[in-house]
Amino acid sequence: MAITLWDLTGAEADRRFSPYCWRIKLALRHKGLEYATIPWRLIDKGVIAFSGQGKVPVIKDGETVVSDSWTIANYLEDTYPDRPSLFGGEGGRATGRFVVDWAELALMAGIFPMIAADINGILDAETQAYFRSTRETFLGRTLEAAQAERETRMESFRRGLVPLRRMLKFQPFISGAAAGWHDYAAFSVFQWARCASPLQLLAADDPVHAWRERMLDLFDGFARKAVGFPV
Ligand SMILES: N[C@@H](CCC(=O)N[C@@H](CS)C(=O)NCC(=O)O)C(=O)O
């Protein structure tokens, strides 16, 4: 039986923009597991109440319900040990946790203010009211005021990518010779931005751009085919 994934959507049902859901869709493909997605909006809390919390991703695998992208990745790795490994061993699992936090605290935190108003623009009116109120409280300013700082923020965001840029001189993927969880956890943030905003986060000659291209090509261009903006 296929795994069910509740997957964040914008006003258009096929604009799936959650970074946390993206890394799980890529992990499911990596494992070669069949899955079906159910579009979910930020305000549809009741729909996922069965999971005991209010965020996606949530998966249901038979009778097992799992939420939180890192918990789901570990569940998939441990439940399907005969499928291709996401982590490549226990050392990879440990550094995989580091990438989850780096992706959230360095990548997402750096990108979010630059695309905050654009994200609002892909939502339906009802979800926009919720998004604006929760995210403006978080940002401490309006979505538009945050996004207006993008010119000044871009340089430091790109500078923060130096360790990744340098690593990619030695290997094509963060996980090594082939893509794995480390790549999915980091790429999912760029895919979130690409699904929600036309902002060009990476210069065309940046090795990180070339890595993102390789990630967009994986699984027969799965991420590239998703509804998003050209980057
Ligand atoms: N730590 C969680 C974070 C999940 C998360 O924040 N998901 C967002 C969608 S991208 C969400 O559902 N937010 C609900 C809300 O803002 O009310 C994970 O890794 O899965």
How confident is the model over 113-143, as pLDDT tens digits? 999 999 999 999 999 999 999 999 999 999 9
Tell me the pLDDT tens digit for each residue of 60-115: 999 999 999 999 999 999 999 999 999 999 999 999 999 999 999 999 999 999 99
Measured from the CA of 24, which atom of ligand 1 is nearest?
20
Task: Write the DSSP symbol of residue 86.
Answer: S
Per-residue model confidence (pLDDT) at position 1: 79
Instruction: Choose which residue among 51, 55, 99, 195 to substitute to test ligand 1 binding: the one with the highest number of ligand atoms within 8 A of its C-beta.
Output: 55
H/E stretch holding 30 reads helix 19-31
Q: Which residues line ligand 1 (CB under 6 A)?
A: 8, 18, 20, 42, 54-57, 68-70, 134
Q: Is the pLDDT of residue 227 over 90?
A: yes
- In this prediction, residue 231 has a pLDDT band, given cuts at 50, 70 and 90, of confident
The token pair at 66 is 């799992």
Task: Give the dihedral of Cα atoms 224, 228, 230, 231; nearest 10 deg.
Answer: -80
How many CB atoms neighbour CB 36 within 10 A?
A: 10
- Region 35-44: mean pLDDT is 98
Q: Which amino acid is at 77?
A: E
% of the chain exceeding 90 in pLDDT: 99
> What is the residue with the minimal CA distance to atom 3 of ligand 1?
68
